[in-house]
Structure 1
Amino acid sequence: MKKPFISLCLIFAMFFTLTACNSQKVEKIRLAEVTHSVFYAPLYVALEKQFFHEEGLDVELKTTWGGDKTMTALLSDGADIALVGSETTIYVHAQGASDPIINFAQLTQTDGTFLVSRKPIENFQWEMLKGSTFLGQRKGGMPQMVGEYVLKKHGIDPQKDLNLIQNIDYANISNAFASGTGEFVQLFEPTASIFEKEGKGHIVASFGKESGKVPYTTFMAKESYLTNNEETVEKFTRAIYKAQKWVEEHTAKEIAEVVKPQFEDTPMEILETVIERYKSQGSYATDPILDEQEWNNLQNIMDEAGELPVRVNHETLVNTKFAENLSK
C-alpha cells in the first residue's frame, strides 16, 4: 500500500510545484531603443543570457530610430522605458513637462562615434579637417554635440572652418558618404568598421576617447512609471547590472558570440573588432549609476554646442536609487 501512497504524494507535489511556478507573475516591459547598435552590447547580453527572465521580466524591444521618435514613444505611452541620450530629458524638462522623464540607469559612458576619412591618412592630425566637407550628425543630438565639442577642443570652428553638412537624416548618413558625399564623416559602429573593411572609408580618430566620460545613453522612464513600478524598475536595473559585469569580465570574442543573434548580417570578425574597440576605450558603463560629474560634463558639452536650454541639477532628472540599491 506504500507505493500507491508515495506515487499519490509525488503527483500532488508536482501539481503544487507547477501551480507555484505558474503563479509567479511575469511582468512585461516595452523598451524602445533609439537605434540598434553594438554600442549597446550589454543590453543584448541581458536579453540573450536571459538576465531579464531571471528577474521575472519579459522585455519587448523595439527600435525607434532617432531621439525624437524614441521620446515621442515614451511620452505617448507607446513604451514604458526608453534607451536614448540623456540630453533628451533636459529638452523635455525645458518644455515644462508635468510628468518629467527621469534617467535611472546608465548603459554607455562615452560617445560611440568615430571619425572616418574617405582616404587613408597616416599620422592623422585634427587640423587636417580644416577646409574639408564634413558629414556630421543631426543638430541637437548627442553625436553632433560631442562632435562639435571635440572639434572646438582641437581649435576647429565647425561653422567657419568646415563645409558642415547636417541636413541628412540619421539613417541615411552612411549611405550618403558611401555614395560620395563628404571627405569625412562621423559614424557609429559597426558601420565604421564595415566601411573600413570594404575600403569605403578609414577610421582615423575616436570621438569617445576625445570627449571623456558622459552619460551618453541611459535608460529612462516617466517619473510616474518609476513611482508606480519601483520593484519592476529595480529588477530591470539589476538585470542590466548583471550584463554590465558579464561584459566587463569577458572577452570581446565571447561577447560577440552572445550578441550575434542580434546582428545576423554582421560578420563575427567585425562584431569582435567593434566590441574590442568599445571595451578598450571604456564605452560600456561598468555599473548603472549616472553620477553628478558625468551629468555636468553632458551639460557643458550641450552648452558649448549652443543646445542647452536650461541647466538642470543632477537630482532633478536623475534617480540613482535603483542603481545604488544593487551595491548594498
Structure 2
Amino acid sequence: MKKKAVFLLLVLTLVTLVLAGCSSKTGNTGADSASAKLKTVKIANYSGAVCFAPLYAAVEKGFFTQEGLNVELVRTDFEGTKEGLATGKIDATLGLFHKWVKPIEQGMDIKFTAGLHTGCIQVVAGNNSGITRVEDLRGKRVGVDAIGAGPMNLLAVALSRAGIDWKNEVTWKAFPPDQLETAMDKGEIDVVAVTDPYAQFIIDKNKGRLILSQAETEPYARDYCCFVAVSGKLIAKDKETAAALTRALMKASMWVNENREEAARLGVEKKYTGGTAEGNARLLAKYRYVPGVQAAREDFLKAVKDLKAAGILEVDRPETLVDKAFAPVTGEITQ
C-alpha cells in the first residue's frame, strides 16, 4: 500500500511538471507571436539633430509599435543614408528638404510622404564680422556642414534673392558641424549656416548674432523644412508599411507639438542628440510641429521653384519633379 502511494505521488509530480512546462511554452509562444506580428523597418538617424524629435518620440513613446512596426535605428552619415535609401537597405529617415532634393533630381529613388515641421536651419555671423544681414555676405566666407547640403542650399536661395551670386561672390567652406564654432573662433570663416543645435551653441555663448532663422525669418518661417523620406523601393513593394511609418512619425510630431520640454529631455537623456534639455526646448519652441500631406506637397513645389530660380536645380518643370518625388501614401492625421 505504501509503495502504491509513493508511485501515485511520483506520477502526480511528473504530470504537474509536464503541465507547467507546456504552460510556459504556451506563454512564450504567445509573446513570440505578438513580436512576430511587428514588421521590422530600418530608419536612419544620420544627424542627431534636435529637430529629429519626432523620430526619437516615435521610438520611445510607442508610435511605431502602435502602427505594427518594430524599428531598427541605423546610425550612419548622410552619404550612408542616401545610399541606403536608394538601394532599399534603409527604409526611411527624416529628411531636410533642401538636403535631399538635389539627389532626387539626379535620379535617387527617394520619396517624400509628408511634412513634419518647420524651421531648423540658422545662419549666424561672428560678432566681429561686421555682418548683420544676408545682404552683407558678398565676399564673405561661409562655413557649412557639407557642400550642397540643406543649410547651404537654403542660404543660396536667400543670397540669390538678395542679388548676390552665391556661386562666385561667396566662399563656401565645409566642416563637421561640431567644428564650425571652432573654425569661426580661429577666423577661418565669417558665418555659419547649419542645422540646430550647432548654430544656437554659438549664439548662447555670445559669440555670434543671428542673421537668418528658418523658423522665424520670412518668407521661410511657415514652410516645412523636414519631411518623411522613404525609399522608393519600399513604397513599390509594401506601400502599407510606408504608410504606417509615415503615420507614426506624423503622430509623434503632434506629440512633440504638445510636449516640447519632455521631447527635449528625452532627446538628451536617451543620447539621441547633444546640447541641454533647456536649450533644446527653446529651439523646439520655435518650430511648428504641424504634420501634413497636402500642405507639404504645396511647400515642396514652392521650394523647388525657389531652388530652380537660384540655379541649384535644373529641372525644366518644377511640377514634374514634385510629381515624381512626392508620394502621398497616407491621409492627414488629425489626432
Q: TM-score range by the shorter chain?
A: 0.7 to 0.9
With over 3 angstroms needed to count, the CA separation of the structure-2 counterparts of 1:235 and 1:149, relative to structure 1, is same
CA distance in 2, matches of 1:242, 1:211: 27
* Residue matched to 1:257: 265
For residues 245-324 of structure 1, the aligned pairs below 5 Å read 245-250=254-259, 252-260=260-268, 261-263=270-272, 265-277=274-286, 279=287, 282=288, 284-287=289-292, 291-310=296-315, 311=318, 312-322=320-330, 324=331
The CA deviation string for residues 223-244 of structure 1, in whole angstroms up to 9 with x for no partner, is 3311322332232122112211
Which shows bigger deviation, 295-304 or 213-222? 213-222
Asked if 1:165 corresponds to 2:171, the answer is yes
Q: Which residue of 2 aligns with 1:4?
A: none
Secondary structure (helix, strand or coil) at the match of 1:266 reads: coil
Spell out, residue by residue over 1:172-204, the C-alpha distance to the aligned partner (whole angstroms, 9 max, x if none). Answer: 544422432222221221112222233333334
Query: For residues 123 and 321 of structure 1, what CA distance do their matches in structure 2 show?
Result: 44
- The whole-number CA distance in structure 1 between the counterparts of 2:130 and 2:42 is 46
Scaled by the length of structure 1, what TM-score is found?
Answer: 0.78
Aligned to 1:195: 202
Provide structure 1 residue ranges, at least 5 long, that are not aligned to the other structure.
1-8
Give secondary structure in 1 for the equivalent of 2:189.
coil
For residue 113 of structure 1, report the CA deviation from its aligned partner: 1.5
CA RMSD across the alignment? 3.5
In the TM superposition, 1:118-137 aligns within 5 A as 118-119=126-127, 124-136=132-144
- 1:234–1:133: structure 2 CA closer, same or farther, 3 Å change rule? closer
Question: What does 1:84-123 correspond to in 2, within 5 Å?
Answer: 84-86=95-97, 91-92=102-103, 94-95=105-106, 100-110=109-119, 112-119=120-127
Q: C-alpha displacement at 1:61, in angstroms?
A: 1.6
Q: Give a deviation string over 1:24-80, Cα, whole Å, max 9, x none.
A: 2222111123411002111111122122123332212223323x4321122234312
Letter in 1 for 2:33: S
> One-letter code of the match for 2:54?
P
Match of 1:205 in 2: 212
State TM-score, norm by structure 2.
0.77
Count of aligned pairs: 309
Change (3 A) 1:95 1:133: closer
- Quick check: 1:177 aligned with 2:184? yes
Q: Once the two structures are aligned, what percentage of the paired residues are identical?
A: 21
What is the distance in 1 between the residues matched to 2:131 and 2:100? 39
Q: List gaps (5 residues or longer) in structure 2.
A: 1-18
Checking the alignment, whether the CA contact within 8 Å between 1:145 and 1:305 is kept in structure 2 is no
